[in-house]
Structure 1
């Protein structure tokens, strides 16, 4: 889903004019900094006059008819009050969908993390996560309830199996998926509930003073405590060996227990994280297919094998999920092999 060229040009003009007014730099030029999987885009300010202010700002462009910026601002305030490092807002025009933000640099954790520094970087990320999870959820914060969990799971069969692979599941396969979905939903709903970011992963963390700074938090909900840790350690865009993930989960669990967060005992938490991961992996596979077929963003599908790998590592531990493994073997693995 893309804007017509004329709309793009009009939006670009409005964005630049607003940024120059908001920053006070009349020679400001904007250059693409990044674009997320939604409709927001980010632009770095640079000025021909060498103004240090102009050279250190980011414009978030969130077209109001496509992605309202108000949820982002609201959750940013909640997180900041709770001590979480988030980007500072220097100016805003909510009706137009423009924000002027501090420039945190060009590199996220995804750019800088490697085998040698991962322990330290992820420990710092957990420090921010513990602050986030300790925040009392606003009374009107949406809940990660049964309906939302089910909608997310059905992205897998609707968009990946259906739209992408072109499959029409027979009644037996549909019943299999519904039983698996029911098990995953029940497991998620049984977990202790905290503030959940929903995409707490290296791409949404930036090295920063008193950080890392946390990004892309506008979809926060009240939900299962294992969701954000498994999102951090089983990332959408890079993978780690299972023993290392297990050690990080144990380290998170120890720190969360020490911080007074409502984590269950370690064996139960590991199971919760595994099953929560399966729900997230299926959801993301579906989202990547939707990005390809609805939003004309095909690049994300290249990471589907990563999530199949995550499922391969976990499903054999749980006999109740054996039918899902068999369905993947029959329907998904041959398609991936054909694309390889």
Structure 2
């Protein structure tokens, strides 16, 4: 249960008579609790230990997004020094759970695309921490390195030769060159079925504290090549076209079909390989082994995409040789 300090924080702000129970943690060190008030209204209490999690970016970005009518939780009370926050409650139903309960996928994802576009067209604001964090070459390289530093040596027990490391880097650089040519927007970084809530006919966006500015197709790739749920290509293509029409109108992104396909595919490969690296790190460093079950689905997207681009053939060969991907 919560600590006495956390209990006092809640009581000081909303009074006594509430009940509280743990909801869940996530891939971070944050823990979430539901606070039930005497009138049965609910809030969420987030406990982010300050020695493990800096809650200031969450507060800063949430404040910015709420100001621009993006559907993220309102913050009612915060003590960032202790990592205590009382938030609007979006309920328990993620998109992943809503799909399991039989909600219409086309309806859910059309709504998600609309909310994504609203996030992407927020204005640049130097006061928001996300706008000072570019998705630049250095960050993209650090993300690629998660695969070669954690997953291949740690999970697969494979030692990458110097020559092969150089080959990996050549292809990584090629992908980075492509994605950095895209228009820049606000990027959530984890816009997928576990971070989208379905609450009272409304999409709720959570886990946005790592937002940066970066390639326009990044969050769409997160949504449609989701590590946690697989969609067939016709469904993905249909949603891509819905997003693309909105992006033309609200973001001024008007690529020809070939350019869009290349932008999206290269971005998705980067995103999926990063995710596999993160799953390896979560297992090895944090003891969170369950994410490894999502690797085959994630790599399935990569395996589907690479044959369409001859220049990525060396990457396909390396992933097969090091047993990251099936032939």
Q: TM-score, structure 1 length as denominator?
A: 0.89
Structure 1 CA distance for aligned equivalents of residues 93 and 245 of structure 2: 29
Give the drift of 1:33. 0.9
**Contact residue 225 and residue 263 of structure 1 kept, 8 A:** no
Structure 2 CA distance for aligned equivalents of residues 187 and 56 of structure 1: 46
Structure 1 CA distance for aligned equivalents of residues 281 and 34 of structure 2: 29
Alignment correspondent of 2:258: 267
Give the drift of 1:267. 2.3
Alignment correspondent of 1:281: 272
1:65-144 to structure 2, matched below 5 A, reads 65-113=51-99, 117-139=104-126, 140-144=131-135
The 3 A distance-change label for structure 1 pair 74 and 201 is same
Please give the secondary structure, in 1, of the residue aligned with 2:247.
helix
Structure 1 CA distance for aligned equivalents of residues 123 and 292 of structure 2: 36
Please give the secondary structure, in 2, of the residue aligned with 1:183.
helix
The root-mean-square deviation of aligned C-alpha atoms, in Å, is 2.0
**Contact residue 85 and residue 210 of structure 1 kept, 8 A:** no
Give the drift of 1:95. 1.3
- After superposition, give the CA deviation of every residue in 1:224-251 in whole Å (9 maximum; x if it has no partner): 0000111111112111112211221122
The 3 A distance-change label for structure 1 pair 205 and 263 is farther
Consecutive unaligned residues of structure 2, counting only runs of 5 or more, are none
Q: TM-score, structure 2 length as denominator?
A: 0.93
**Contact residue 207 and residue 213 of structure 1 kept, 8 A:** yes
1:18-97 to structure 2, matched below 5 A, reads 18-24=9-15, 26-46=16-36, 51-52=38-39, 55-97=41-83
Structure 1 CA distance for aligned equivalents of residues 170 and 77 of structure 2: 49
**Contact residue 88 and residue 101 of structure 1 kept, 8 A:** yes
**Contact residue 96 and residue 193 of structure 2 kept, 8 A:** yes
**Contact residue 133 and residue 195 of structure 1 kept, 8 A:** yes
Q: 4+ residue stretches of structure 1 with deviation over 4 A?
A: none
Alignment correspondent of 2:7: 16
Alignment correspondent of 1:155: 146
Q: 2:234 aligns with which of 226, 236, 243?
A: 243
